[in-house]
Copies of this chain bind each other. A is one copy, B any other.
Amino acid sequence: MAKKTVPYKIYLSEDEMPKVWYNLKAAMNKQHPPFLNPATLQPCTADDLRPVFCDDCIEQELNCKDLLIEIPEEIRGFYKMYRPSPLVRAYCLEKALGTPAEIYYKFEGNNTSGSHKLNSAAAQAYYAKKQGLKSITTETGAGQWGTALSMAAAYFGLDLTVYMVKVSSEQKPYRKEVMRTYGATVIPSPSDTTAAGRKILAEFPGTGGSLGCAISEAVEKAVTSDSCRYVLGSVLDHVVLHQSVIGQECKIAMEKYGIEPDIIIGCCGGGSNFGGLIAPFMGDKIAGKNNIDFIGVEPASCPSMTRGRYAYDFCDSAKTTPLAKMYTLGCGFMPSANHAGGLRYHGMSPIVSELYHDGYMRAVAVEQSKVFEAAEYFARTEGILPAPESSHAIRTAIDEALKCKETGEKKTILFGLTGTGYFDLSAYKAYNDGTMADTIPTDADLAKGFASIPDIPQNK
């Protein structure tokens, strides 16, 4: 298709918005190994998952056949409140860099939750409502996911209980207020509302909590009630599916203007945003229709793909979840306390892991001082204060654009800008003050993490 003049921002019209999610698994030649029940080491069945997750989400989790899955009209109605998100041509950044490359980014931060998380929160809340449930529950660390879910729960009329890591709820009291404004009940974790919480409190009376503990409390609340289910914001296949709305919008917008990306870049924590961004483009690559260079960017402080192992591991640090085959640093791995850039998850989405393992994409790890340098540069040239997570993708996009400047190549680069930096200003403060250190784990640090990977036959 002939290329048209591209505006600063491409917004799809409502008619052009995607009506289907792209189920990347159905396009893959090889499926990731199934989740395992940690007690039996047998593949998890839908029945295993039913006390925890909503039925429709389980069906999507296990669906490897249907390439396109309809987005229910109710969810599309919710999406219309804050989508389409703009696909931005980074004219100002290109000019500042003096690169012949064309740079585009898909900005997911223009909604009150501040990130892409809302795409799956909306879907999961809807399916809970559809199933006739009264309430949902989840955990949150920094609060981004909890905020997104509180917005979705308010919209669909569900009660929501968020277990928020206690130290976060104390350090980020305002995140809690957003959730409360949307009607969520926010409980600092560990709490005395669950057996798991009471046990931790008895053992460690002064603890500030952990994500693992908050997950345990939320899952307990879900499995001990018929009318409540647990909702997760990343890693799982159905979350990647919901996030494919990002890639679907990108593809429609780019085709409309005849833009063909050479490189697609996304930051990788749990992998759902990256998986969603690349989904339809990767499906085409697997079918031999393009040769896009897909780059997942992770922090050098938490390098699950570039330095991790491909093994079965727990999804949580408390070792309560099913085992997933994924790139992992070990469920006991903790990034250095100096690490301020987010993307702290020890593992990686099984879908993204399989793609990486099979050579369909590459991964790079970047140091946080370089990430914040890119964030500041981007803020000043493009006018958006990016989330530290998203700034990993910015860093790599700038690096690729500068390579083009050297070689004179006019590549087309697309990256995902997943969120805003409004709620990460303590990290920006450290950068502005010059007190931010790079924190790369030593081989000994990694070995300690690897020791927490379960020693099961499947990992031999």
Residues of A within 8 A of B (CB): 7-9, 11, 13-14, 78, 80-82, 92, 110-112, 151, 154-155, 173-174, 177-178, 180-183, 375-376, 379-385, 420, 422-423, 425-426, 428-429, 431-432
- A155–B92 Cα distance when bound, in Å, is 9
Tell whether, in the assembled complex, residue B380 and residue A182 are in contact, meaning their CB atoms are under 8 Å apart. Answer: yes
- A81-B92, A422-B422, A429-B174 known; A380-B154 Cβ under 8 A: yes
When distances are taken between beta carbons in the complex, the residues of chain B under 8 Å from A382 are 81
Shortest CB-to-CB span from A73 to chain B, Å, is 14
List 8 tightest A-B contacts by C-beta distance, closest first.
A174-B425, A154-B380, A8-B80, A7-B14, A81-B383, A177-B425, A112-B385, A180-B432
Given A92-B81, A155-B383, A13 and B7 contact (CB-CB distance below 8 Å):
yes
Contact A432 B181, CB 8 Å, known A151-B383, A155-B380, A383-B155: yes
Q: Are B380 and A429 in contact (CB under 8 A)?
A: no
Task: Say how far A296's CB is from chain B's closest CB, in angstroms.
Answer: 26
Q: List, in ascending order, chain B residues with CB within 8 A of A92's CB.
A: 81, 155
Closest chain-B Cβ to A178's Cβ sits at a distance in Å of 6
> Is B11 within 8 A of A11, CB to CB?
yes
How many identical subunits does the complex contain?
Answer: 2
Is the Cβ of B380 less than 8 Å from the Cβ of A8? no
25 pairs, A vs B, C-beta closer than 8 Å: A78-B383, A81-B92, A81-B383, A110-B110, A111-B383, A111-B384, A112-B379, A112-B384, A112-B385, A154-B379, A154-B380, A155-B383, A173-B425, A173-B429, A177-B425, A177-B432, A180-B428, A180-B432, A181-B375, A181-B385, A181-B428, A181-B432, A182-B379, A183-B380, A422-B422
Contacts of A9 in B (CB 8 A): 80
Please tell me if the beta carbons of A112 and B429 are within 8 angstroms of each other in the complex.
Answer: no
- What's the least CB distance linking A223 to chain B, in Å? 28
Looking at the assembled complex, report how far the CB atom of A145 sits from the nearest CB atom of chain B, in whole angstroms. Answer: 16
User: Measured between alpha carbons, how far is A78 from B379 in the docked complex, in Å?
Assistant: 13
Are B112 and A383 neighbours in the complex by a CB distance under 8 Å?
A: yes
User: Contacts A383-B111, A383-B155; is A177 near B428 (CB within 8 Å)?
Assistant: yes
Residues in chain B near residue A11, CB distance under 8 A: 11
Bound form: Cα–Cα A49–B92 in Å: 34
Residues of B within 8 A of A183 (CB): 380
A112-B420, A181-B432 known, 8 other contacts, Cβ within 8 Å: A110-B110, A154-B379, A155-B383, A174-B429, A181-B379, A181-B380, A181-B431, A182-B380
Q: How far is the CB of A89 from chain B (nearest CB, A)?
A: 10
In the complex, the chain B residue whose C-beta lies closest to that of A174 is B425
From A7, A111, A385, A428, residue with most partner B Cβ within 10 Å:
A385
Tell me how far the C-beta of A374 lies from the nearest C-beta in chain B, rounded to whole angstroms.
12
Tell me the smallest distance from the CB of A446 to a CB of chain B, in Å: 33
Minimum CB–CB distance from A132 to chain B (whole Å) comes to 21
**Chain B residues, Cβ within 8 Å of A112:** 379, 383-385, 420
Given contacts A8-B14, A182-B379, A380-B182, contact A429 B385 (CB under 8 A): no
Contacts of A379 in B (CB 8 A): 112, 154, 181-182
